[in-house]
Structure 1
Amino acid sequence: MLDNIAGLILMVALLSGFGFPVDFVVSAMIPGTALGVFIGDLAFFILAFWLAKRTGRDDVTAMPLGLDTPSTFGIILFILGPSYLQGVGMGLSEHDAAYRTWHIGIWCIVMSGVLKFALAPFTEIVRRVIPRAGLLGSLAAIALVLISFIPLMEIFRHPLPGMIALVIVLSALVGRIPLPGRTPGTLGALLVASIVFYTMCLIPGNHYEFPTAPTGISWFPTQWLEAWQFNWLADFDDALAYLPIALPFAIGTVVGGIDCTESAAAAGDEYDTRTVIGVEAFATLIAGFSGGVIQTTPYIGHPAYKAMGGRAAYTLGTALLIGSAGLVGYFGWINAYIPAATVYPILVFVGLEITAQSFLATPRRHYAAVALACLPALAFLALSFPNQMFGDAALRDAGIQLSTLQDSLLQTNLKTVGMLSSGFIITSLLWAWALAKIVDRKITVAALVMALAGGLTAFGVIHSPLPGNQLFVLFGPESWGNIVLDDANRGPVIEYVAGYFASAILLAIWSLNPKIRSPATDDDGAIAPQE
């Protein structure tokens, strides 16, 4: 449950980085988001009991659900933050700009929930067709880059308490070293590291400072209830421009939900994928209608929670804690007084556990496919810091952006990395899927996967060159507006599409060779070299 707290703290931190009023976030956005977590975790609590009763087992672990980590970054960095700055730039007051942004966020989450419901019936088919290397490889990519590395940056901003918390978490949960009094590792890390943090605040001459008391926080906030007045419907025109950014994240969570179900099955808990995605969709819709701006999704740390001894009750505890924190209003105090460096190590552990499970649950011959899936995620990581630099006020005011750089090679490299990182979750899945089928000598299937990747590229689902990973069509009349890709970006996209289709044709021709249709495996299940 502390990982959900960490996610909410991260949400507030990212929004405040754009100058967004923290009290507005806590009173308008957090309650609806927390309600979505409450509904989803409560549903998964019930599903776990049904599975335990059906199988006669007492070790069933409920599917964890919480804020979708990629969406927390993507929706805030590409939609909420820019739309807030746009509103301020239009002359709106901070209050009015916040309302406008809130309504845009609600639209994005509601439409994401609708899309998830539409895709839910087909997810079991996807799970049967796509190999574990594809599903779990994309999972490992998310785990390493978003869930492990980015929180690590915050941990090492305050290295003394952060490293202590990290060591306690990893020792207790990976090394299985018991803490005194059978204290849970996450709770022990939070307590010890918080004491260290506040002790450092007492020592003058360092960068540690006591948190300031939160202002504008009230018990039982009611501002979020304004979402049920549906005033946000009037802002559809403003939200429309951002939906092509939001919907790929929804597709990504559907893929992630399939990944989670596969990960749970690998850990011994077999859930129906359609039901899991249906619960995710319902929780997302409830969150959106209640003013939430971050979608919910099954967490990809099922093996980690099982390793921590989690069964069904922990999701009920999560539902009650997160739901009450948002709806009762005490999250504002949690956000103010719990140092981020003391809770982010939990996210690092979850990421490491997911990565390890991704390899352990995958046939050895597919390890290279799992590793390949991590490469697009590394492109996302490589681009994150240049994006922050170009977004800095000093560079913006000086008119410095990617197109004004004098080094043409640097421009090209950043553009290439940007296209590789766009839609990286789906790219990771497709690349790993194709390589796994090549290893299994199912070359025709690999060719079809490459052709599918080419088709998705043609609409910007992956490799979009536009800001915020916007979708597009390659050609169309001017009356279609910005949905038609501009001339400057059309050439690179067409070449990506051509590359995928050329690869598909090459593989299709290769599949005609009868010598490579049947794989030969050694005693370890790895493909044996063939002459």
Structure 2
Amino acid sequence: MTTPTATATATAANRWFVPGDWNGFFGLVVDNLSILAFIAAALIGIFGFPADVVFQRMFPGTALGVLIGNLIYTALARRLAARSGRADVTAMPLGLDAPTSIGMALLVLGPAFVGYKAAGLDPHAGAIATWKLGMASLVVMGVLKFLLSFAGAWVTRVLPRAALLGSIAGVALVLMGFFPLIEALRVPVVGFVTLGLLLYVLVAKGRLPFRLPGVPLVFAFGTALYYALGFAGLGAPGFVPPAAVQWHLAFPWPSLGFVDGLPATLPYLPLLLPFGLLMVVGGINVSESARAAGDDYSTRDILLTEAFSTLAAGICGGVAQTTPYIGQPAYKHMGARQGYTLLTGLFIGLGGMLGLVSGLVQWLPLAVLAPIIVYVAIDITTQAFEATPRQHAAAMVLGFLPSVAYMLAIKLGNPAWIAPEKLAELAGALDGHGLPEVAVIKTLGNGFIITSMLWITSVVAMIDGRLRRACVVLLVAATLTAFGVIHSVDPRGGLHLPWQLQGLASTINLQFMAAYLALAAALALLSLQPGANPEVTLD
């Protein structure tokens, strides 16, 4: 016989919405809108991308991934609530991943579009080719995440936490932090005030009058300040307010368009594969975080959901991957339960198809969005240091440096900064003191995320006294260098066969391979000393 208490508990557990779901809904929607707005602002504002391709082709499929993932996470939460009889089960939040979404815009889609235009394609044709590259990139990352869903624990054992967190922290600090900061300061009053208030609210934990919610208030204040200065003629030069929100139907139908973009993904694999890998590791971490907060989700279900939603988005035209957010306990503390992910999925998904999301993001100024991304970069870097053993910090800092090289390579490759013929001259100029500096910068920057992982892993192994493990990592690095997975000497950063290289390119490739082999040999000899730890286990 069922007791009244048990019946009441089961009824509460099956409720679709509670008041706290509105708090979670607002926070999760703002996160996703901010990322979508930055993607649009970066592609359109920085790279001159046609707006119609962004809003009517890229956004609907990207939003569909958010819808599918949140619907599945809502179902998983309701299943857990029904199974446990608990009313306080909180769904796993899912949205667009900030670091890799911004990385896709700044490091893959934008440069690819510039390259297509330089090759002679008109802007619209170049944008369509770039869109198909974005679709294919999501399919590649989705397949990788699907495969790694069954091997996530092994990945986390093979790669130390410093390598996983440090590689993305380098991207965050050097690329996500620096580039958006420059964009924010192009409208200094708005950008600097918005950034300062965000740091007051989020870093200094400062109080606001009447206990108003900090981030939404700063967001609204920065936007109001931007438009007030703009309409008064005191803001950005050439200020023009966006057009009114235009409703349109752009349903993300599945297509094989990604197949056309697959060949173009080859030069970007050293970026795309780590992007997918990091999401798998992140999914494992957030599952553990939710479990510690009392919600025991299957890690494999969490990982398979993000893999499926990423694949679905890519097949339907999306260009940014989804991921479970790390703040599930925070949403639980807000009082959110199972309805907030359903509401978010419907708002972002349907809004992306109907043009509502596109209209909203057009009204969000880059000078206000960029400081939010700068804060995210600061937070990611800080968390990397906090979650990494202190003795591994030096290894992680070393892993930041390839990101610096990639940032310089991006700027050097901008024709507005340096003429292409001058860049080619500098990249091939020998002065008798070693390889050309520009060539070294570009070579170090190519495949920088995997380079960072390998450097950090090898130094962590040295710190832990596992010299033979460090040797194995260096031998892997030498092998990857030979084929251009890291340190590619291809002008586009693509893969290559070492025996087909000629001239200076062959010399650079051999020199970088020899560097890894020489250090591996030195560490192998050092491991023979009495008392050295020979451990080399990778499982």
TM-score band w.r.t. shorter chain: 0.7 to 0.9
CA deviations over 1:175-196 (Å, ceiling 9, x no partner): 2223334333221111111121
Report the AA paired with residue 96 of structure 2: G
Q: Which moved more, 1:54-63 or 1:506-515?
A: 54-63
CA apart distance, 1:247: 2.9
Cα distance in 2 between the residues matched to 1:363 and 1:258: 21
CA deviations over 1:34-77 (Å, ceiling 9, x no partner): 21233234445555677898898969783553152222222213
- Which of 327, 330, 340 matches 2:366? 340
Asked whether the 8 Å contact 1:66–1:296 carries over to 2, the reply is: yes
Q: 2:233 matched to 1:207?
A: no
Cα distance in 2 between the residues matched to 1:55 and 1:443: 51
Hey, what does 2:13 align to over in structure 1?
Answer: none
CA apart distance, 1:127: 0.6
- Structure 1 unpaired stretches of 5+: 476-483, 520-531
Residues 338 and 182 (structure 1), Cα distance of their counterparts in 2 relative to 1, 3 Å cut: same
Hey, what does 1:455 align to over in structure 2?
Answer: 479
Q: 2:406 matched to 1:377?
A: no
Cα distance in 1 between the residues matched to 2:209 and 2:435: 54
Hey, what does 1:386 align to over in structure 2?
Answer: 412
Hey, what does 2:66 align to over in structure 1?
Answer: 37
Q: 2:300 matched to 1:284?
A: no
Hey, what does 2:110 align to over in structure 1?
Answer: 77
Report the AA paired with residue 141 of structure 1: G
Q: 2:345 matched to 1:319?
A: yes
Report the AA paired with residue 385 of structure 1: K
Hey, what does 1:471 align to over in structure 2?
Answer: 495
Asked whether the 8 Å contact 1:134–1:432 carries over to 2, the reply is: yes
- Partner of 2:399, secondary structure, is helix
Asked whether the 8 Å contact 1:78–1:245 carries over to 2, the reply is: no
- Which of 497, 505, 525 matches 1:509? 525
Hey, what does 2:6 align to over in structure 1?
Answer: none
Cα distance in 1 between the residues matched to 2:279 and 2:146: 13
Hey, what does 2:264 align to over in structure 1?
Answer: 242
- Which of 69, 92, 110 matches 1:62? 92
Cα distance in 2 between the residues matched to 1:190 and 1:441: 48
Paired residues for 1:340-379 under 5 Å: 340-379=366-405
Q: 2:61 matched to 1:26?
A: no
Paired residues for 1:162-311 under 5 Å: 162-204=191-233, 207-214=236-243, 218-222=246-250, 224-225=252-253, 228=254, 230=256, 232=257, 236=260, 239-261=261-283, 264=286, 275-297=301-323, 302=327
Residues 513 and 45 (structure 1), Cα distance of their counterparts in 2 relative to 1, 3 Å cut: farther
Cα distance in 1 between the residues matched to 2:195 and 2:465: 43
Cα distance in 2 between the residues matched to 1:293 and 1:336: 18
Q: 2:189 matched to 1:128?
A: no
Report the AA paired with residue 23 of structure 1: D
Residues 131 and 100 (structure 1), Cα distance of their counterparts in 2 relative to 1, 3 Å cut: closer
Cα distance in 2 between the residues matched to 1:499 and 1:411: 13
Cα distance in 2 between the residues matched to 1:196 and 1:148: 22
Asked whether the 8 Å contact 1:137–1:358 carries over to 2, the reply is: yes
CA apart distance, 1:495: 1.7
- Partner of 2:419, secondary structure, is helix
Report the AA paired with residue 322 of structure 1: I
Residues 97 and 502 (structure 1), Cα distance of their counterparts in 2 relative to 1, 3 Å cut: closer
Report the AA paired with residue 509 of structure 1: L
Asked whether the 8 Å contact 1:395–1:401 carries over to 2, the reply is: yes
Paired positions, count: 495
- Partner of 2:96, secondary structure, is strand
Cα distance in 1 between the residues matched to 2:380 and 2:288: 11
Hey, what does 2:9 align to over in structure 1?
Answer: none
CA apart distance, 1:462: 1.4
Report the AA paired with residue 95 of structure 2: L
Cα distance in 1 between the residues matched to 2:49 and 2:302: 34
Cα distance in 2 between the residues matched to 1:21 and 1:102: 11
Residues 284 and 310 (structure 1), Cα distance of their counterparts in 2 relative to 1, 3 Å cut: farther
CA deviations over 1:244-300 (Å, ceiling 9, x no partner): 12433331123312442465478675776655543333222111211123344456x
Cα distance in 2 between the residues matched to 1:340 and 1:387: 23
Report the AA paired with residue 105 of structure 2: T
TM normalised by structure 2 equals 0.80
Hey, what does 2:181 align to over in structure 1?
Answer: 152
Cα distance in 1 between the residues matched to 2:284 and 2:78: 19
TM normalised by structure 1 equals 0.81
Asked whether the 8 Å contact 1:35–1:326 carries over to 2, the reply is: yes
CA RMSD, 1 decimal: 3.6
Asked whether the 8 Å contact 2:435–2:508 carries over to 1, the reply is: no
Residues 183 and 307 (structure 1), Cα distance of their counterparts in 2 relative to 1, 3 Å cut: farther
Q: Which moved more, 1:504-513 or 1:8-17?
A: 8-17
Hey, what does 2:425 align to over in structure 1?
Answer: 403
- Partner of 2:495, secondary structure, is coil
CA apart distance, 1:155: 1.2
Cα distance in 2 between the residues matched to 1:41 and 1:467: 40
Cα distance in 1 between the residues matched to 2:202 and 2:148: 35
Cα distance in 2 between the residues matched to 1:460 and 1:278: 30
Residues 408 and 132 (structure 1), Cα distance of their counterparts in 2 relative to 1, 3 Å cut: same
Asked whether the 8 Å contact 1:383–1:418 carries over to 2, the reply is: yes
CA deviations over 1:92-121 (Å, ceiling 9, x no partner): 6x5455444433443343344334333432
Hey, what does 2:43 align to over in structure 1?
Answer: 15
CA apart distance, 1:468: 3.7
Q: 2:138 matched to 1:109?
A: yes
Report the AA paired with residue 363 of structure 1: P
Asked whether the 8 Å contact 2:65–2:309 carries over to 1, the reply is: yes
Report the AA paired with residue 482 of structure 2: A
Cα distance in 1 between the residues matched to 2:302 and 2:131: 28
Q: Which moved more, 1:191-200 or 1:7-16?
A: 7-16
- Partner of 1:25, secondary structure, is helix
Cα distance in 2 between the residues matched to 1:158 and 1:220: 31
Asked whether the 8 Å contact 2:183–2:367 carries over to 1, the reply is: yes
Residues 407 and 326 (structure 1), Cα distance of their counterparts in 2 relative to 1, 3 Å cut: same
Asked whether the 8 Å contact 1:141–1:374 carries over to 2, the reply is: yes
Asked whether the 8 Å contact 2:66–2:345 carries over to 1, the reply is: yes
CA deviations over 1:292-327 (Å, ceiling 9, x no partner): 23344456x659967996966665554344323311
Asked whether the 8 Å contact 1:136–1:263 carries over to 2, the reply is: no
- Which of 461, 474, 497 matches 1:437? 461
Paired residues for 1:486-525 under 5 Å: 486-517=502-533
